Amino acid sequence: MSTASAYLKVSGIDVDVIYKNIKNLHIAVYPPLGRVRVAAPQRLDDDAIRLAIVQRLPWIKRQREQLRSAARQSEREMVTGESHYVWGRRYRLKVVDEPGRLRFEITGKRLTLHAPANSTSDARRRAIDEWYRAALKREIPELIAKWQPIIGREVGKWTVRRMKTKWGSCNRQSAHIWFNPELAKKHPNALEYIVVHEMTHLLERNHNERFTELMDGFLPDWRARRDELNAAPLAEENWGKSNG
């Protein structure tokens, strides 16, 4: 089955479009950030796909809100036995009562939190958020240094910042790139994909054919990395023949 891909922006929402040898159009919304992906028949052009997305905007927005609600409801209590992901691997949390500052360490398949007995869940969540940020900050400089000579552009500044619906963002004028701290929970391949994706925007602003060609040249397996990053859709709709 042959495939191609493109990107669209519809009502402020970034949409991944995958063209396949299929009959009907499918729209899916992926956790944790509400990324929207469309699997479209090869016969459809951008205008037809935009129309389908616009017609399904209320449904898409409901799914994205459900994701945000689910994220709030599943907020970690930071107690022994919880599962936490670090660089794509699952670890069981063990909390050890210990005076002093909150700190984390990984041993085998266990993530240990050393924390005072009277520390609150909020304090522990802030601590692990900072720990994830620090993990990202250790990896990002090496990746940027690796890709700057390949892409041919320099990053002016980079920042780790929580974002509701994006893994990364880029300001072309200042060459400033932002990274979502959630990336520290994903496989390292995902971080490299986002680094290359955002640095490619220093060459091409839009998610158009040129952008896709550049990504193909820089990182041939970028689609697989993107799909792994955005795996497990929250919901999916089949856009049948009557709507095509």
| Comma-separated ranges of CATH 3.30.2010 domains in the chain | 83-203
Q: What is the pLDDT of residue 158?
A: 98
pTM (predicted TM-score): 0.80
Q: What is the mean pLDDT of residues 79-106?
A: 95
Q: What is the pLDDT of residue 241?
A: 41
Residue 238 pLDDT exceeds 70: no
pLDDT tens readout for residues 153-208: 999 999 999 988 789 999 999 999 999 999 999 999 999 999 999 999 999 988 88
The Cα 146–Cα 161 span in angstroms is 22
Q: What is the pLDDT of residue 244?
A: 33
Which one of 3.30.2010, 3.60.21, 3.10.20, 2.30.30 gives the CATH number of domain 83-203?
3.30.2010
HEC per residue, the chain: CCEEEEEEEECCEEEEEEEECCCCEEEEEECCCCEEEEEEECCCCHHHHHHHHHHCHHHHHHHHHHHHHHHHHCCCCCCCCCEEEECCEEEEEEEEECCCCCEEEEECCEEEEEECCCCCHHHHHHHHHHHHHHHHHHHHHHHHHHHHHHHCCCCCEEEECCCCCCCEEEECCCCEEEECHHHHHCCHHHHHHHHHHHHHCCCCCCCCHHHHHHHHHHCCCHHHHHHHHCCCCCEEEEECHHHC
Per the model's pLDDT, the better-predicted residue between 62 and 3 turns out to be 62
Residue 242 pLDDT exceeds 70: no
Q: What is the pLDDT of residue 165?
A: 79
Percent of the chain with pLDDT over 70: 93
CB distance 190 to 229 below 8 Å? yes
